[in-house]
Chains A and B, each alone.
Chain A
Amino acid sequence: MQGMKKLGVCELAVGAFAWFMSLSAHADYTWNFPEPVTPMALDTLHVHNKFMIITAVIFVVVLAIMIYSIVMHRQSKGYKPVADKAPSTSVEIFWTLIPFAILLLIDFVIMGIPAYHSVVMMEDTRDQSTMVIKITGSQWRWQYEYLDGDAKGIKFVSNLSTTNGQMHNQEEKGENYLLEVDNPLVLPVGEKVRILMTSSDVLHNWWVPQFGSSRVAVPGFIRETWVQVEKPGVYRGQCKELCGKGHGYMPVVVNAISKEEFAQWSNKKQDEQKAANDVKEMSKDDLVAQGKVVYEKNCAVCHQVNGAGLPPAFPALTGSKIATGPIFGADGKYQKDSHLDRVLNGKGVMPAWKATLNDTEIAAVITYERNALGNAAAVDAILQPAQVKAARE
């Protein structure tokens, strides 16, 4: 009797699971993929729902047979086992071919055919695509570059904007905790956008669940995918390939707007970018002030806000030889392993920033590091954007 009672618990648990699974089959998004906004995500959702129903049916049918047997064919009920003679191979092989045949049909016809069409659709990045963007993953931010059309030449970096205080439970967490950035990717609604994906350091994976596309960014290689957002809105996702300590802190945010708004945004952004790329002489105070912003956004993750670093992996900048020593040699060129060399070209875990930050930003952040964080460099205390520009050439 006690055995029966325990069995009831088992059935209850399994029944509850089956119920959960059936919920996932209805488009109730708490239990399923979020609302799809691209043709690919819609297709994925349909495929997923279909397969979930198929597997749930298999599960329930097999389980029902098993539970029937467990309830009926038990010793405590006095059930006598059927006399099994020496295995009659041909009969057994015939019976075992039945589940084989059922799965053959499910795998390669019922599931296999729609799966084929989905794969072909997913990998067709070029047909009817009207614009191309390049996404570069780097530790731990995304860089976006528009390669053609209205927005050609626009290029920016997208960083997590959630504050440190929220992460360490000192401030209340915002609605989009860990899923918010300073510069979201902006895409026009209805356009098929071909995405070229690469990385500047380790593997990353650009993923927005509502788009249904996810692709690994591989350093040194270009990978492709596409999106066609069909509904205006702000969509959020995350990096999906372990990429180091900041892996949980490089979200993807996409702002999908109408084509007209996109054209306006492109013009405005291009003007801003032109102004920012103008190299002009700046005062030390301006450089330090701008440098502080750049530092806290890009460098503080590893070197910490106060410059103490996290040795031995991430050295301190306070009192660092590199951050206080000379930058330029007697010939007027920057020296190897100098502060500027390290920031431009990176070394080991330290990324190269020359492709990510513009001349003014690099000049500002170096000046900040040499004059703040407890440092007061005796030589080359101030770096001007023009010097960075010259160093690049």
Chain B
Amino acid sequence: MSTTTVAHHDEHHDHPTGIMRWLTTTNHKDIGTMYLTFSLIMFLVGGSMILGIRAELFKPGLQLMNPEFFNQLIGVHALIMIFAALMPAATGFANWMLPLQIGAPDMALPRLNNWGFWILPPSAILLTLPFTLALFGVGDGALATGWTFYPPLSVQGGIGVDFAIFAVHLLGISSVLGSINIIVTIYNMRAPGMTLMKMPMFAWGWLITAFLLIATIPVLAGAVTMLLTDRHFGTHFFDAAGGGDPIMFQHLFWFFGHPEVYILLLPVWGFIPQILQTFSRKPMYGYKAQVYSLWAIGALAVVVWAHHFFTAGMPVPALLYFMYSTMAISLPLAVLFYCWIRTMWKGSMSFETPMLFTVGWIILFGIGGLTGLVLADVAADAQYHNSYFVVAHFHYTLFAGGIMGIMAGVYYWLPKMTGHMYNEKLGKLHFWLTAISFNVTFIPQFFVGLAGMPRRIPDYALQFAEFNMISSLGAFALGLSQLLFVYIIISCVKGGQKATDKVWEGAQGLEWTLPSPPPYHSFTEQPVVK
């Protein structure tokens, strides 16, 4: 592998400075930084919403809020965490790291890239504005249907639903633009010699994610548009009185919603093996098997959607089909888990913060995956469905599997992005605080769900009190621990021990051949991969 990197000209003379730099930038690193910053801010916003929920659920009875406001918080929390925290974080990494990893000077479509980002802040405002408007007596607050928009409740709702529909439209456009850019970049901008089967795994994860986004986002956009016309223009797509069917919305929504789970996870499954090989000091195991598994999961993702509403009523053959196809996802996933652990096996491991997060991620995401396997069972799902068991399950996949994965990526690449090492001691402390408080929050939710507590209720029967109290305490510890994360990032950006080009002893890949931080325009001459 030979690489030539020359910073040809002064880094800052050819682009505006100050706010205009960020508004008009077409540089993949600037845009990546904006995505990641936006994601971190929205992560804190979505997190503080759920702390309001956990405070209300600390003990039985209504203490802090009325049920209407409670219902608004749960739905907006989910939309923010999924669309404004997790997805932009993955896109931010793609912007920063894909060109560096495949030896490209920038993303293929830089202006589209700028657009893709600047659509996000207005849609975040659309999502949260109804809270503020309600304070001034306009409308009755944000959408109160949960993030799933199920009609007829969403047809009944106030203007918050319309705001959320338009926010989802904009967020969807942003994702599709980002996906087009990533696909074009990966197919056209790879360094000479880098065949598809020599690509970094992160590029594979994102390529499949991008295809899934382009396949499913339009379905979501269509479904919420039908909802909008049902609300305002007298159509009856989801109204039985006019020949429609409320359950059809669930089919359309989850045709997007289930692949969405993999949209959130596939980029993480891309860089997790890279972190593992770095800190195990040996190449990742089963590269081809992993690539095939990612494709298999991408394909299965779009054919299993109805397991999200088994209790809505379906013919027996449909129940059986969706049960068995859902179980089938565990086959490629088992291959992935095997390859991840086999990469660690007989390596020479060290446990810096990114590796700690990765190991913790494998264990906790494993719990999410295994509980997902039992949830696929239709008969038992009648009990699990919409209970706190499900809440715990998807937080193991999306907080542990998603956000803790992203955190591993942040610690892994932060020295490369900033040129400074973060504070290793604080990083490790952040990991332990996060991992322990996460489990304190969500393990009790498995049990309270089995005992019969439904999700999305503002108050609960006395038998659920103890578990809820433990869960709330865990949630507050989890929330506070993230302030440490913010502090570590800010102090790393500001300064710290100088990072070497390679940063990690065992790092492999083109991004580690560049200086830390990389020059504003990297790879002005294409590296050649042998």
Contacts and interface: CB of A to CB of B under 8 A. Distances in A.
Contacts of A107: 324, 327-328, 330-331, 373
A59 B152 contact: no
B339 interface: yes
B153 A202 contact: yes
A203 interface: yes
Given A74-B349, A92-B289, A169-B61, A44 B382 contact: yes
Contact of A205 (B146, B311, B344): B311
A63 B382 contact: no
B526 interface: no
Interface stretch (A118-126, A264-272, A317-325, A331-339): A118-126
A254 B338 CA distance: 48
Interface stretch (B213-221, B407-415, B432-440): B432-440
A62 interface: yes
A122 B350 contact: no
Interface string B226-240: 000000000000011
Interface stretch (A151-159, A238-246, A371-379, A380-388): A238-246
**8 cross-chain pairs, A with B, having the tightest CB-CB distances, nearest first:** A220-B240, A118-B379, A248-B457, A209-B452, A55-B370, A99-B334, A96-B289, A223-B313
Contacts of B337: 62, 99
Interface in A203-244: 203, 205, 207, 209, 212-216, 218-221, 223-224, 236-244
Contacts of A14: 363
B247 interface: yes
A293 B320 CA distance: 48
A179 B283 CA distance: 57
B385 interface: yes
20 contacts: A13-B435, A34-B452, A44-B380, A69-B344, A74-B350, A76-B350, A80-B348, A82-B282, A84-B283, A100-B332, A107-B328, A111-B327, A119-B323, A123-B316, A202-B151, A238-B452, A245-B71, A312-B137, A313-B158, A348-B156
Interface in B303-344: 309, 311-313, 316, 319-320, 323-324, 327-328, 330-332, 334-335, 337-339, 341-342, 344
Contacts of B287: 87
Given A34-B451, A202-B151, 9 more contacts: A33-B450, A74-B348, A82-B282, A112-B327, A119-B316, A177-B462, A205-B386, A221-B240, A237-B452
A73 to B, nearest CB: 5
A246 B71 CA distance: 10
Interface of B: 60-63, 66-68, 71, 137, 139-140, 144-146, 150-153, 156, 158, 239-241, 245-247, 280-283, 285-289, 309, 311-313, 316, 319-320, 323-324, 327-328, 330-332, 334-335, 337-339, 341-342, 344-351, 359-360, 362-363, 366-367, 370-371, 373-374, 377-380, 382-383, 385-387, 428, 432, 435-436, 439, 443, 447, 450-452, 454, 456-462
A205 B247 CA distance: 13
B430 to A, nearest CB: 13
Given A81-B280, A202-B153, A123 B345 contact: no
Given A69-B344, A218-B313, A96 B331 contact: no
Given A118-B378, A240-B454, A248-B460, A99 B335 contact: yes
Contact of B152 (A115, A119, A205, A219): A219
Contact of B282 (A84, A168, A178): A84
Given A6-B432, A209-B383, A216 B309 contact: yes
Contacts of B359: 66, 70
A243 B153 contact: yes
Interface in A163-195: 166-169, 173, 175-179
